[in-house]
Structure 1
Amino acid sequence: MSQHLSRRHFSLGLAGLGATALAGPVRAAVPREGEGESKTLCFVGGYTQHGPPGISGNGEGIAVFEMERDTGVLTLITTFMDIPSPSFITLTKDRKFLYALSEINDYNAEGDGCITAFAVDTRTGTLAKINTVGSGGAVPAHLSIHPSGKYVLVANYVGGCVSVIPIRHDGSLGEATDVVHNTGPRQPERAEDNPQGNFAVSDHSSAHPHMIGTDPSGRFVLADDAGLDRVYVWTLDEKRGKLIPAKKPYYNMTPGSAPRHFVFDHSGRMLYNLCEQNSKVVVSKFDPKTGEITFIQSVSTVTSHFRGSTLAAEILISESGKYIYVSNRLGDSLAVFAVGQDGTLILQDEVWMHADYGRAMMFDPSGNFLFCANQRSDVVTTFRVDRDTGKPRFVHKFTPVGSPTTFAFMVTDA
């Protein structure tokens, strides 16, 4: 593999609670207080020793923590260890199932990664493996659940394709009903509007889908392709599980910019797309009837004073819709944007992450705390968020987790 500073080269290289029915070993549990009350649980995944080529992580699987609601402190309960490199995980809305991808390329003879389905005990958070299926391509990077609840959508980064995987009535997964391979001209490794002194590059050797999800209505499926510098748009035939290109099947981003993750505003009419290579948020109008994307603004995720290498990673929108947050790897910062009445962004602050290579971020269910997975530091850092100003304040809480990259939160039944 190349020694370029890209997502796949992360040197820059990239749960059961003691139940005997659990398919896999778990680490010893820590006793918890307040049995009989609902609890806030945090699932954290990341890279293990079994990962994609060139990457060997320090994680052990899916770690399960209980969050103290007043302080944001995470206390380890257990670790589900029978899964390789669960670098992205997500829960169903009813919390009954968790789906985790394994960012590998050796699940089967075709060199695919895989997706594992877990049943979740909504009272305790216990995970029980249901089944595992191929992801439809090598080294999957992202998955999401279609709003219909019928399919898991998967972005296979190295495989250069996106997949549609059916969810059965019992939460188990079937074989892919559709696999779409992206094609297009080769793009430059660096964007022309890079921050000054940025030596980091993103892999543009071929198609590299990095995220797949829907607009808030669920009518359209979008995928960021960091290799082709495009945002693809489809509709989903829910009966057949097939992706159908929109009237305008893709939107071209800045060459070399590497679109990575996106979020919508609550109306579904504003699209915020994070580009990792040039560390920009691209603000666009989104037509919920046609899926058409129209450019409005491009704004840097680092201040004008920044010099050096940086790769943007994650983007979140606050529950109020007034603020957007971005994590910057290498620069190790958390950018805070205010959202204007017209949907455009103003960079308000850039906060030190207090650790190295911040990747995924997520709010807890209350929205009071923001957590960041710092892959190279093997730690999760915690910030308390001021709802009025949007500013995150580091609360000096470090939670050790090997090579963390992803979160999922749930509130248990009482």
Structure 2
Amino acid sequence: MSHPVSRRDFALGLAAGAVAAGVAGTSHAADEPTVIPVPPPPPKPVSKTVCFVGGYTKHAPPGGAGNGQGIAVFEMDRESGVLTPITTYTDIASPSFITLSADNHFLYALSEIDDYNKDGHGSVTAFAVDQKTGSLRKLNVVSSGGAVPAHLSVHHSGRYVLVANYMGGCVAVLPIRSDGSLGEATDVVHNTGPRQPERAADNPQGNFAVSDHSGSHPHMIRSDPSGRFVIADDAGLDRVYVWTLNLTTGKLIPAKTPYYDMEPGSAPRHFEFNHSGRIMYNLCEQNSKIVVSSFDPLTGVITNIQTVSTVTPHFRGSTLAAEILISASGKYVYASNRLGDSLAVFAIAADGTLSLQDEVWMHADYGRAMMFDPSGTFLFCANQRSDAVTSFKVDKNTGQLAFTENFTPVGSPTTFAFMNTQV
């Protein structure tokens, strides 16, 4: 016999079934382990590559004033070479050459001026460098020992800064204190010699550019790789000077052969050594030549073995060579030509001699300083009259340069320093 079911009883039955199903489902879920998502590990901190660029500011002697603001600081993208601005340190006049200490803890910048003091000297500023950010903190400022300094370097010992005072006709030795700041000069040496011609006899055809040969004009000073000798190029006297440095007194002592005469009028400007320290490559500004010499690290004797042009045989017109670099591999030498606006690429033979492999357009005007980034992947050029930095990708196997098409605006750039930050 059938029993009718009301709609109320049917609804209650559905509700009871739903509750039972819910209880059963809850009981089943409780039997499974609870999974708590684990957040991904934080990214590992990585260092960054910082690029410092100096140049001419409005405060400079006549002919040197420029559009720069001070020392511009950039971060370099390690894949593309692009420079992204971080900040600019403006409390300095015409830092036309800068250099870092070997451990990157300190940066030293000259001011290419002639009114730091009543004696008409330039100056050198010491900075502490933040190892995580690359930011600069001024330590102190001292006289460069002469007018219009053009170059400075840290001695191999790390105890002195060496300065070439271009218009002062002298080189100076500045002691580095324990905190990285600088003391007053322990020695200032003035060079003298006969007047040289404005142009060299072996100039490129059609070169109307001249170099100042009115007197002594030291253009670079640095110790050789062994640290035994200190060497200076004097572009006004066409000489290469050689000293030893007394590390206790900070005095320069002339080597047995105190100087070497270069081609009259050639204006030796900057030099590099090969990795053994036994081959010297000396770039002469006025005739755009590289003089290759053997160098005895025990005696300081320099013996010329080759002279090569930094411009190709088809070049005609005015040019002034500016900077010389050697690749990290030790297989290639690079030289920049102002006015000619080119970069010369040389292969180094087993005996240290050079052969011109390529000539590359700078894509800008009046390229002065060049520098590799710390990895040697990119070569950067400071183009003074174009107010821009350009860069090239380096083929480490062939030495060839490929323009990155990256332009970085910097007023009147003339010098670089690179470092990798610490993490």
Normalising by structure 2, we get a TM-score of: 0.89
Matched, 1:176 2:179: no
Aligned ranges for residues 143-162 of structure 1 at < 5 Å?
143-162=152-171
Deviation at 1:95, TM superposition (A): 1.1
Deviation at 1:214, TM superposition (A): 1.0
Matched, 1:271 2:280: yes
Aligned ranges for residues 120-139 of structure 1 at < 5 Å?
120-139=129-148
Matched, 1:241 2:215: no
Deviation at 1:35, TM superposition (A): 9.6
- The whole-number CA distance in structure 2 between the counterparts of 1:265 and 1:388 is 17
Counterpart for residue 37 of structure 2 = none
- The whole-number CA distance in structure 2 between the counterparts of 1:366 and 1:162 is 32
> What SS does the corresponding residue of 2:197 show, helix, strand or coil?
coil
- The whole-number CA distance in structure 2 between the counterparts of 1:255 and 1:55 is 25
Q: CA RMSD in A?
A: 0.8
Matched, 1:57 2:66: yes
81, 87, 109: which is aligned to 1:78?
87
Counterpart for residue 397 of structure 1 = 406
Aligned ranges for residues 163-242 of structure 1 at < 5 Å?
163-242=172-251
Matched, 1:298 2:298: no
> What SS does the corresponding residue of 2:156 show, helix, strand or coil?
coil
- The whole-number CA distance in structure 2 between the counterparts of 1:402 and 1:102 is 16
345, 357, 360: which is aligned to 1:336?
345
376, 380, 397: which is aligned to 2:385?
376
Task: Give a deviation string over 1:142-201, Cα, whole Å, max 9, x none.
Answer: 000001111000000000000000000001100000000000000000000000000000
Task: Give a deviation string over 1:111-156, Cα, whole Å, max 9, x none.
Answer: 0000000011101111000000000000000000001111000000
Q: Which has the higher helix share?
A: 2
Amino acid at match of 1:113: G
Aligned ranges for residues 37-116 of structure 1 at < 5 Å?
37-116=46-125
Counterpart for residue 23 of structure 1 = none
328, 337, 354: which is aligned to 2:363?
354
Give the count of matched residue pairs: 381
Deviation at 1:93, TM superposition (A): 1.4
- The whole-number CA distance in structure 2 between the counterparts of 1:172 and 1:334 is 36
Deviation at 1:47, TM superposition (A): 0.1
Name the CA shift for 1:132/1:35 in 2 (closer, same or farther; >3 Å): farther
- The whole-number CA distance in structure 1 between the counterparts of 2:87 and 2:44 is 16
Amino acid at match of 1:393: A
- The whole-number CA distance in structure 2 between the counterparts of 1:61 and 1:244 is 35
- The whole-number CA distance in structure 2 between the counterparts of 1:55 and 1:192 is 28
Task: Give a deviation string over 1:4-47, Cα, whole Å, max 9, x none.
Answer: xxxxxxxxxxxxxxxxxxxxxxxxxxxxxx89421000000000
Amino acid at match of 1:222: I
Amino acid at match of 2:102: K
- The whole-number CA distance in structure 1 between the counterparts of 2:63 and 2:346 is 35
- The whole-number CA distance in structure 1 between the counterparts of 2:259 and 2:161 is 21
Deviation at 1:53, TM superposition (A): 2.4
Counterpart for residue 251 of structure 1 = 260
330, 333, 339: which is aligned to 1:324?
333
Name the CA shift for 1:69/1:245 in 2 (closer, same or farther; >3 Å): same
- The whole-number CA distance in structure 2 between the counterparts of 1:343 and 1:55 is 36
Amino acid at match of 2:106: F
> What SS does the corresponding residue of 2:385 show, helix, strand or coil?
coil
Task: Give a deviation string over 1:253-298, Cα, whole Å, max 9, x none.
Answer: 0000000000000101000000000000000000111100001000
Counterpart for residue 418 of structure 2 = 409
Amino acid at match of 2:320: L
- The whole-number CA distance in structure 2 between the counterparts of 1:317 and 1:206 is 30
Q: Which runs of 5+ in 1 are unaligned?
A: 1-33
Counterpart for residue 27 of structure 1 = none
Matched, 1:367 2:376: yes
387, 395, 407: which is aligned to 1:386?
395
Q: Which runs of 5+ in 2 are unaligned?
A: 1-42
> What SS does the corresponding residue of 1:376 show, helix, strand or coil?
helix
- The whole-number CA distance in structure 1 between the counterparts of 2:345 and 2:161 is 31
Amino acid at match of 2:384: Q
Deviation at 1:94, TM superposition (A): 1.2
Counterpart for residue 35 of structure 2 = none
